[in-house]
Structure 1
Amino acid sequence: MQATTLSFENMHNHGELFANLLRARRDSFIVRNNWDLPQAMGMEYDQYDTPASRWIAVHEEGQVLAGIRLTPTTARCGIYTYMIRDAQRGLLDSIPADLLDFEAPVNADVWESSRVFVSNSVPHKIRGLVHAQLISEMCKAARELGAEEVLCLIPASWPRFSKRFGLDAVAAGPVMHIDGADTQCVKITLTSMVH
């Protein structure tokens, strides 16, 4: 099992990995969760999958086990910036505008983590290991990109795993019921973490 950080600059070095990541996202979000999201050729995508973003894939023998998208909070594409900020600005019908306790930042030191998933095909006995590798690679990649904080919209069960993975994480908004799941915005401070 390995973790790879993909970008538009390096994805050509990794064969089908990016396409497989988008296929795994489709399986997780559209097939399993029944979310109404854009898809084409068996892949899920949205307006935030741009050259500004990076994608973390935990994979083994071509199969994507887990993934995360990282987007700088300074990103801009047409009317869109990043998912949490655009929800706060009322641009996304599926996410409440009151998801954050503060104004969504636009700061080169802050990146957003979105489209977080662990594939349903990952056996229960190794899910924790896969999740740990995903979080570790996300933190490493974000720090290498200059991030001091990562803002996430993730399952509200995050306190259970944040201590286990050594995350310096705090709630950044209320618990919300979105698309059948309790979710919450969380701020992860990277500067205090050592991996």
Structure 2
Amino acid sequence: MEVTTLSYKNLHNHGELFANMFRARHRAFIVQNKWKLPEADGMEFDQYDTPASRWVAVHDRGIVMAGVRLTPTTHQCGIYTYMIRDAQRGLLETIPENLLFDEAPTASHIWESSRVFVSDSVPAKLRMRVQMQLINEMVISARQLGATSVIGMIPENSPRLARRVGLDCVAAGPVLEIEGSRSVCVNINMATKMH
């Protein structure tokens, strides 16, 4: 099992891995969750998959087992910034505007974590290891990008897992029912991991 952080700068070094990440997202979000998202050639993508983002992939022999996208909260492309902020601004139909207690942050030291998934094909005995690899690489990558904090929307029960692996994870909004699942926005403080 390997973990790779992808960017537009290093795609050429990783063969099909970038495309396989989008294929795995398609399976997780469109096939399994039945979300109505943009897709092409069996890949899921959206307006936040820009050169400003990074993608962390846990993979084995080209098969993507888990992934997450990191996007700077300072990025803007047309009318879009990052998913949580754009939802709060009323730009996204499927995510309620009241997802945060406070105004969505915009700062160079805060990045957004989105499109988090673990493939349903990962055996139960490997799931915790895969999740740990994904979280560990997300923290390393976010820190290398200058983040001291990450904001993200995760399943309602995930903050307990985050705390179990040593992340300082605090709810940043109410638990919401979104497209058939209960989710919550969280702030993840990287300061406890900066040693």
Say yes or no: does 1:145 pair with 2:145: yes
Aligned to 1:66: 66
Aligned to 2:124: 124
Aligned to 1:47: 47
Aligned to 2:28: 28
What secondary structure, in the 3-state scheme, does the structure 2 residue paired with 1:28 have? helix
Deviations 1:119-171 (A, max 9, x none): 00000111010001000000100000000000010101023202211001100
Unaligned runs of 5+ in 1: none
Aligned to 2:83: 83
User: Size of the alignment, in residue pairs?
Assistant: 195
RMSD of aligned residue pairs (Cα, Å): 0.8
What secondary structure, in the 3-state scheme, does the structure 2 residue paired with 1:161 have? helix
Measure the CA separation in 2 of the matches of 1:169 and 1:193. 12
Say yes or no: does 1:161 pair with 2:139: no
Structure 1 moving runs of 4+ over 4 Å: none
Deviations 1:157-191 (A, max 9, x none): 02320221100110000000001100000000001
Say yes or no: does 1:115 pair with 2:118: no
Measure the CA separation in 1 of the matches of 2:114 and 2:60. 22
What secondary structure, in the 3-state scheme, does the structure 2 residue paired with 1:163 have? helix
Unaligned runs of 5+ in 2: none
Q: Match of 1:104, as an amino acid?
A: A
Q: Match of 1:36, as an amino acid?
A: K
Q: Percent identity?
A: 62
Measure the CA separation in 2 of the matches of 1:3 and 1:168. 22
